C-alpha cells in the first residue's frame, strides 16, 4: 500500500492514530500545524490552507488514503468564524479535491457529534444536522461539501462522528485531564453545575474505528457514530466524582459553581453507535472505569517523571 496522509497529526486523536498506524506497519506521512515537533522526511509542518504545499506532497508520495483530522475551533477559546470557515470548509474541500485528482482509494473524514441538532435521546446517523456551536456548524458544512463530492464525483468518502473522546495526552484544559491535574495538585476544581450528559469514548477505541474506515468495503459513502452509547453515558458531575473517588481525593475539592459557558453546551449528547457495530464490526473495548483509570495512571506517571527530572 502507498503511504497514508494524516492531517492534524499533532492533535490528541491524530497523535494516537499516527502511532497506532505505524505500529500496524503502515507507511504514514503526517501534516501538523502550530506544534513544536520538528519536520522530517515523513512529518511536515503545513498550514492546511496552503494548497500548493499539499499538492507537492500528493505528487511526491502518491497517497493511497487520506485521514483528515485537522480542524479549527475544537476548543471554544480558538473558535472564530474566519478560521472555522477557512479550515473546516474551504481547506477541507480543497484537500478532498486533491485526493480526487490523485486517485486516493479512501478519504476518511473525522467530524464531530456537535454537527447534530441537540435532542433528548441517543443520536443515530439519521439525526438532523443543526449544530449548537460554530465549530459544529462549520464541520457540518464541510461534510456537506464532501458528501456532494462523493455523490457527484466519486470521492471515496468515509465519515466518523466521535462523541466525547478522552484518554492520555488530551489537552489539559479538557474536563478529564483538568480534573486529574487539579486533584493531583490538591487545587480546587471549578465547574458548572455539571448536569450535561455526555457519551465518553476512550481514544484508543476511536483510533480502532478510524482504522476500519480504511478498508471496510461497505463503509464508503456512509457516516458512523463513534461512541459508547447510553449505557456508558454519564453527567459531567458524575464523571468528576468518579475520578475523585478513584484518586482518593476529597470531594470538597470540586465546586460546581461556575456560570454556564457562552458557547452552547447541549444538555444531552449521546450516540446510538449501532451502525458501526453492525457494518464495521466495531465496538468500544475500554469501559469508562478502565479508561479513566488508565488516564489517571498516565498523568500520575508524567507527574513523577517531571519531579524526578
Query: Is residue 39 domain-shared with residue 160, that is, in the same domain?
Result: yes
pLDDT in tens, 169-209: 999 999 999 999 999 999 999 998 999 999 999 999 999 99
Query: Is residue 21 domain-shared with residue 94, that is, in the same domain?
Result: yes
Look at residue 53 and tell me whether its pLDDT is greater than 70: yes
Query: Is residue 157 domain-shared with residue 190, that is, in the same domain?
Result: no
In a domain, 281, yes or no: no
State the CB neighbour count (10 A cutoff) for residue 265.
Answer: 16
Is 32:5 a contact under the CB 8 Å cutoff?
no
Query: Is residue 143 domain-shared with residue 51, that is, in the same domain?
Result: yes
pLDDT in tens, 99-142: 999 999 999 999 999 999 999 999 999 999 999 999 999 999 99
Closest to 236 in 3D by CA, of 287, 288, 302, 294: 288
Is 94:51 a contact under the CB 8 Å cutoff?
yes
Query: Is residue 64 domain-shared with residue 210, that is, in the same domain?
Result: yes
Boundaries of domain holding 260: 168-198+231-270+287-308
Give the pLDDT of residue 81.
83
Look at residue 74 and tell me whether its pLDDT is greater than 90: no
Characterize 26-63 residue by residue with b for buried, 16 or more Cβ atoms within 10 angstroms of its Cβ, and e for exposed.
Answer: bebbbbbbeeeeeeeeebbebebbebeebeebbeebeb
Query: Is residue 49 domain-shared with residue 185, that is, in the same domain?
Result: no
Number of domains forming the structure of the chain: 2
Query: Is residue 237 domain-shared with residue 113, that is, in the same domain?
Result: no
> What whole-number percentage of the chain has pLDDT above 70?
94
Query: Is residue 188 domain-shared with residue 109, that is, in the same domain?
Result: no
Q: What is the CATH number of the domain that holds 179?
A: 3.90.25.10
Query: Between residues 58 and 75, which one has the greater pLDDT?
Result: 58
Average pLDDT rounded to a whole number, residues 79-107:
94
Amino acid at each position: 500500500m502507498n503511504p497514508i496522509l494524516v492531517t492534524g497529526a499533532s492533535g490528541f486523536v491524530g497523535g494516537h492514530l499516527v502511532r497506532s498506524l505505524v505500529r500496524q506497519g503502515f507507511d504514514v506521512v503526517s501534516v501538523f500545524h502550530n506544534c513544536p515537533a520538528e519536520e522530517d522526511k515523513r512529518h511536515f509542518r503545513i498550514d492546511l490552507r496552503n494548497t500548493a504545499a499539499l499538492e507537492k506532497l500528493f505528487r511526491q508520495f502518491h497517497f493511497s488514503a487520506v485521514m483528515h483530522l485537522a480542524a479549527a475551533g475544537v476548543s471554544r477559546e480558538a473558535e472564530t468564524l474566519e478560521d472555522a470557515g477557512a479550515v473546516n470548509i474551504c481547506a477541507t474541500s480543497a484537500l478532498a479535491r486533491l485526493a480526487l485528482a490523485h486517485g486516493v482509494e479512501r478519504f476518511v473524514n473525522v467530524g464531530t457529534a456537535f454537527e447534530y441538532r441537540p435532542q433528548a435521546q441517543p443520536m443515530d446517523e439519521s439525526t438532523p444536522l443543526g449544530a449548537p456551536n460554530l465549530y459544529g456548524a462549520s464541520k457540518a458544512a464541510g461534510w456537506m461539501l464532501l458528501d456532494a463530492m462523493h455523490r457527484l464525483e466519486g470521492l471515496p468518502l468515509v465519515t466518523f462522528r466521535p462523541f466525547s473522546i478522552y484518554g492520555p495526552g488530551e489537552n489539559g484544559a479538557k474536563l478529564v485531564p483538568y480534573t486529574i491535574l487539579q486533584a493531583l495538585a490538591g487545587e480546587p476544581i471549578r465547574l458548572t453545575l455539571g448536569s450535561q450528559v455526555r457519551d465518553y469514548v476512550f481514544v484508543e477505541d476511536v483510533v480502532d474505528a478510524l482504522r476500519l474506515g480504511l478498508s471496510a468495503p461497505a463503509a464508503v459513502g456512509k457516516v458512523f457514530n463513534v461512541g459508547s452509547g447510553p449505557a456508558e453515558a454519564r453527567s459531567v458531575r458524575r464523571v468528576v466524582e468518579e475520578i475523585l473517588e478513584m484518586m482518593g481525593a476529597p470531594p470538597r475539592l470540586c465546586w460546581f459553581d461556575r456560570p454556564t459557558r457562552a458557547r452552547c453546551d447541549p444538555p444531552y449528547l449521546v450516540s446510538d453507535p449501532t451502525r458501526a457495530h453492525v457494518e464495521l464490526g466495531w465496538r468500544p473495548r475500554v469501559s469508562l472505569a478502565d479508561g479513566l483509570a488508565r488516564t489517571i495512571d498516565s498523568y500520575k506517571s508524567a507527574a513523577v517523571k517531571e519531579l524526578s527530572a
